[in-house]
Amino acid sequence: MSPAASGETPSLADLRIEIFADGADLPGILDLAGKPYISGFTTNPTLMRKAGVTDYRAFARQVLDAVRDRPISFEVFSDEFDDMERQAREIASWGGNVYVKIPVTNTRGEPASALIRRLADARVQLNVTALLTLEQVREVSASLGDGPPSFVSVFAGRVADTGRDPVGIMAAAVDVLRAHPRQRLIWASPRELLNIFQADAIGCHVITVTRDVLDKVDLVGKDLGEFSLDTVRMFHGDARAAGYSL
């Protein structure tokens, strides 16, 4: 049972889950690399574009110069499986801590299962991404098999965006991957800090967290009465700063 469900005060020190920072802002990555609670890093083309990255290889080299001792994932961006494979093999060559992100399908909805199987057989460390269904988890897990260490990224936050509770799906995904100890489940796209504790409670291995959520880490375990008072003071201070009068 999670601290949220039991009423206990949550603590980062009690977590078993690993927290990976998700982003493509180089100064932010360098800062987070110094945080003891960050166990790895992930990025994707959307985050890279948002951060203004224009040279994929140069950005990756800068990150890898700073992050040598923890896993980091870079994603292919081709839509054709043959070219995805070429990109994957190049990305994998960048370092022993690199995991290659492969989307679960291409943009035409064609499953990447055969490509995943070929790369796993070639001992490429993979992070299969953009999964939302249990059927996808089963297919990807079967394709990865007993290959090298790998991640299976289920976008729990996007599941939640559809009005579905992702906890049950994620718990079932943990069970699917149990048969292959080198496969690790990622709770991807969390929407709030509480998701870290929910993911930990079901035995999920990793959660990827963006900077806006990580910025709330200092609030973990904060006294709720004190937090209430802080909120009242915020409203009062903003009203005064705005010069409101009635």
| Residue 4 pLDDT greater than 70, yes or no | no
The range of the structural domain enclosing residue 131 comes to 3-218
In a domain, 232, yes or no: no
| Residue 118 pLDDT greater than 80, yes or no | yes
In a domain, 83, yes or no: yes
175 is written with which tokens? 């069970």
- Burial letters for 100-136: b for 16+ Cβ neighbours within 10 Å, e otherwise? bbbbbeeeeeeebbebbbebbeeebbbbbbbbbebeb
Q: What is the pLDDT of residues 163-193, one digit of tens each?
A: 999 999 999 999 999 999 999 999 999 999 9
Contact 198, 2 (CB under 8 A): yes
Q: What is the CATH number of the domain that holds 94?
A: 3.20.20.70
Please tell me the distance from the alpha carbon of residue 213 to that of residue 190, in angstroms, as a whole number. Answer: 8
In a domain, 231, yes or no: no
In a domain, 134, yes or no: yes
In a domain, 227, yes or no: no
Beta bridge partner(s), residue 186: 153, 206
Report the predicted TM-score, pTM, of the whole model to 2 decimal places. 0.93
pLDDT of residue 3: 57
Q: What is the pLDDT of residues 69-117, one digit of tens each?
A: 999 999 999 999 999 999 999 999 999 999 999 999 999 999 999 999 9
The total of structural domains in the chain comes to: 1
In a domain, 223, yes or no: no
Please tell me the distance from the alpha carbon of residue 153 to that of residue 213, in angstroms, as a whole number. Answer: 18
In a domain, 72, yes or no: yes
Q: How confident is the model at residue 39 (pLDDT cuts 50, 70, 90)?
A: very high
| Residue 13 pLDDT greater than 90, yes or no | no
In a domain, 236, yes or no: no
Of 86, 126, 121, which Cα lies nearest the Cα of 102? Answer: 126
